[in-house]
Amino acid sequence: MLMCLSSTYEVWQQNVAVCRFLILLVLCQVACCAKIPGLYDEPRLPATITPFHYDIRMITHLENPANHKYNGFVNISLHAQKTTNQVVLHVAGVSIETKKIRLYGETSDFKLTTVKFNKKRDYMVVTFDQPLWLGKSYVLSIEFGRSMTKKLEDGYFLRHYVNAKTSEKIWYSISHFNRNLIRNTLPSFDEPGLRATFNVTMGHHKRFQSYSNMNVRAVLPNYDIQDYVWSVHEVTPSMSTHLLAFSVNNFTCRFTQAASANPVRFRTCSQSSNVRETGFVAEKAPQLLEFLDNLLKVSLPLEKIDQLVVDDFPTEDHSTKDLGLVVYHSKQILQREDGPMTRSKSLALQRIAHGMAHMWFGNLLGIDWWSDLWLTEGLTGYFETLAMDHLEPGMARRLQLRNRETSFMYESEVGGVSLVSFWPLASPEVEKHLYQKATALIGMVNGFLGNATFYDGLQRHLWQNSFASSTPDLFWRSLQLASERESVLSKNWDVRSVMDTWTRKSGYPLVTVIRNGNNVVLMQGHALNRSRTDLWWIPLTYTIDGEAFPGDLKPRAWLTPHQNRQQLDEIVPLNQWILLNLRAVGYYRVNYDEHTWQLLAATLIEDFRSIHVLNRAQIVSDIIFLWKQELVSWSTAFNVLRYIIDEDEYEPLMALVVGVTNGLWGISPDSALSIAKWLGVAGRWYAEFISYTFDKFVVKSPNLNSLDYPD
């Protein structure tokens, strides 16, 4: 018999009995681990039953440090998409009162037959004596609970702070359900595409307050437990299960407001000793939200956003950015409001911008499955840079270039990554780089479509898919329709085929420019491995010596996957250079013939400002890469890089530092020799460069207190 013979609910109330309950549970789990033939074992939940509403009522006990625990009930409203007498859902690290599982239908009275667990896949498989009928709705009622610890993996866990005066530990609870952790807290259908509304009622001691995605609608007395109350939250919009969030604490809050089209109230809360330094996030978050609201023109259906700033989040990479509730790690976010913009303040601002952008991408707009996460993270990363730029002009340019450079560097190191073949993910490190690539690709789409088309497509996509799941295909489709609305002329490309070449292939292309008299021929190949035959749809933007730098980034030509070389229509006299990939928004590198490199080098020395700063950075980055790949000689590389002694902007210098330092790691003896030779020739210059950079950027500039190396 595999059903857990668990004790009754009253047992929870008594500590001694709780132990007995846990022992029973352990025995029961041992029994559950045996392989059961015929037990549901697919990687995804069956499509037979889908949830649409959760009523959650739970109590969190934080007073007795020896016995921190929560317990509760959940009623999950379900649709039967097929007739079946089995319900499969996620349950992992939480105890279930299996005997008390109930199913309510309109008419029938269901009897539980078996409850089985597939431990490997975190499934609970519940079978009833009669079927749930196709098209009908049901309510599944489950009792659950657990003792609480500080473990992040529990999904819902404890933190504490120390009262400085009394040295007393003050405990609070917080959730972090990001990806597959909610199943450790309560039984749920834990897949991103299974969206539902949530009605959360949290019981707690009256000293505390309850925080969740939505506002507290009412606080009602709890007649069963002395000094306890029920905080009844408003019902959430339809959202992915892992976006549910809650916390019970007695933090102190600041109040601010975003004057967006649909005003959003902000409450920023922390332990009282941190309140002085929460002013920064309390003030900046609404400004960033307002900016994004204006830009995206899609209002959030939210009245409030709560921001909790907590010490001691288990790892620094984690923060929670759920609909209406954001949790930050205090070390990363606490800042003085006055004083200059320092590097750590700038990083804090970036984290806040990331959290605010997630309200649209990831929360309002969801995904069907984790393998599409790069789409919402890529959009978030891109809009994070634009929002940053609003408060710190120039930051978008800098962050976008940094993204691109870091992503290029990572792809070279590992031989290329593709966005689509990447689930389950190997590590947070890989994941970070994946999203950097996605962000760079979103920038490229914005570039080749132009602002009008890109925003038209994006806005309609947000309107149409709010509170639903998006996929890359649907997103490209929205952009395609926008591009068709913009111009009736049919193009020889469509957004989806273009972008599929970038998201599905690993690595990125190298475009090679060949001058043939006054004609220019362009060739494409794989930048990281010349034996590979991959071909991309490459938007080509360029400018010719003497032309004004174009304001927009619409391609003047395309390289297609149908042929690997193409001649441009333009005539370019041999004594003039041509420069490709304006503002470096294309995710590719460019190599020129020796003659053009020399023309570019001469222009850089004469008047480097005549070339856009992002293209200077691109030239620096590309030439170092090409030299390492032995596609240009060190004397060509050196000649092009020579101008940098006069460079006074951040982006080209960063490209140099990234290129050179990366080149010095794990070098082969051959290239070590040429680096030594290069540095020998450049030695004097290099020393000057370092001290110049140091003076200029580290000592004097109020805006940059250190060179901003990629993380």
Instruction: Give the annotated binding-site residues for Zn(2+).
Output: 354, 358, 377
- Least Å from the CB of residue 166 to ligand NAG: 7
Q: Which of 12, 21, 70, 73 binds ligand NAG (CB under 6 A)?
A: 73
Stretch that binds ligand NAG, among 26-34, 199-207, 276-284, 337-345 (CB under 6 A): 199-207
228 forms part of the interface with ligand NAG (CB under 6 A): no
Confirm if 502 and 535 have CB atoms less than 8 A apart: no
Q: Which of 22, 32, 36, 55 binds ligand NAG (CB under 6 A)?
A: 55
CA nearest 557: which of 576, 577, 543?
543
User: Distance between CA 439 and CA 369 in Å, rounded?
Assistant: 19
276 forms part of the interface with ligand NAG (CB under 6 A): no
- Least Å from the CB of residue 694 to ligand NAG: 31
Q: Which of 167, 531, 575, 668 binds ligand NAG (CB under 6 A)?
A: 531
Confirm if 192 and 210 have CB atoms less than 8 A apart: no
- Least Å from the CB of residue 403 to ligand NAG: 16
Rank residues 95 and 201 by Cβ distance to ligand NAG and give the closer one: 201
Could you tell me which residues come within 8 angstroms of residue 361 by beta carbon, excluding any fewer than 6 positions away?
A: 376, 377, 379, 380, 383
Rank residues 65 and 415 by Cβ distance to ligand NAG and give the closer one: 415
Q: Which of 64, 163, 518, 567 binds ligand NAG (CB under 6 A)?
A: 163
Stretch that binds ligand NAG, among 317-325, 362-370, 526-534, 670-678 (CB under 6 A): 526-534
Confirm if 445 and 493 have CB atoms less than 8 A apart: no
Could you tell me which residues come within 8 angstroms of residue 245 by beta carbon, excluding any fewer than 6 positions away?
A: 175, 176, 177, 211, 212, 213, 320, 322, 324, 325, 327
415 forms part of the interface with ligand NAG (CB under 6 A): yes
Rank residues 200 and 656 by Cβ distance to ligand NAG and give the closer one: 200
492 forms part of the interface with ligand NAG (CB under 6 A): no
Stretch that binds ligand NAG, among 255-263, 498-506, 529-537, 654-662 (CB under 6 A): 529-537
- Least Å from the CB of residue 533 to ligand NAG: 7
CA nearest 179: which of 324, 367, 375?
367
519 forms part of the interface with ligand NAG (CB under 6 A): no
173 forms part of the interface with ligand NAG (CB under 6 A): no
Site for ligand NAG in 599-658 (CB under 6 A): none
Q: Which two tokens stand for residue 376?
A: 């919402």
- Least Å from the CB of residue 315 to ligand NAG: 26
CA dihedral for 282, 244, 100, 137, sign (positive or negative): positive
User: Distance between CA 289 and CA 269 in Å, rounded?
Assistant: 18
294 forms part of the interface with ligand NAG (CB under 6 A): no
232 forms part of the interface with ligand NAG (CB under 6 A): yes
Could you tell me which residues come within 8 angstroms of residue 264 by beta carbon, excluding any fewer than 6 positions away?
A: 257, 258, 286, 289, 300, 302, 303, 304, 305
- Least Å from the CB of residue 540 to ligand NAG: 17
- The DSSP symbol for 609 reads G
Q: Which residues are annotated as a binding site?
A: 354, 358, 377
Q: Helix or strand or coil: residue 256?
A: strand
Rank residues 383 and 643 by Cβ distance to ligand NAG and give the closer one: 383
User: Torsion angle, CA of 448/454/457/459, rounded to 10 degrees?
Assistant: 160
Length of the chain: 711
Query: What is the per-residue binding string for ligand NAG in 91-130, x denoting contact by CB under 6 A?
Result: -------------x--------------------------
252 forms part of the interface with ligand NAG (CB under 6 A): yes
28 forms part of the interface with ligand NAG (CB under 6 A): no
Residue 12 Ramachandran class (φ > 0 left, ψ -120 to 50 alpha, else beta): alpha
- Least Å from the CB of residue 494 to ligand NAG: 22
User: Distance between CA 106 and CA 661 in Å, rounded?
Assistant: 68
Would you list the DSSP string of 192-222? TT-EEEEEEEEEEETTSEEEESS-EEEEEE-
444 forms part of the interface with ligand NAG (CB under 6 A): no
Q: Which of 119, 207, 331, 485 binds ligand NAG (CB under 6 A)?
A: 207
Phi/psi at 243 (5° precision):
-85, -5
- Least Å from the CB of residue 678 to ligand NAG: 25
Half-sphere exposure of 137 (CA within 13 A, CB side): 6
Q: Enumerate binding residues for ligand NAG (CB under 6 A).
A: 55, 57, 73, 75, 104, 139, 141, 163, 170, 199, 201, 207, 232, 235, 250, 252, 272, 386, 415, 451, 529, 531-532, 551-552
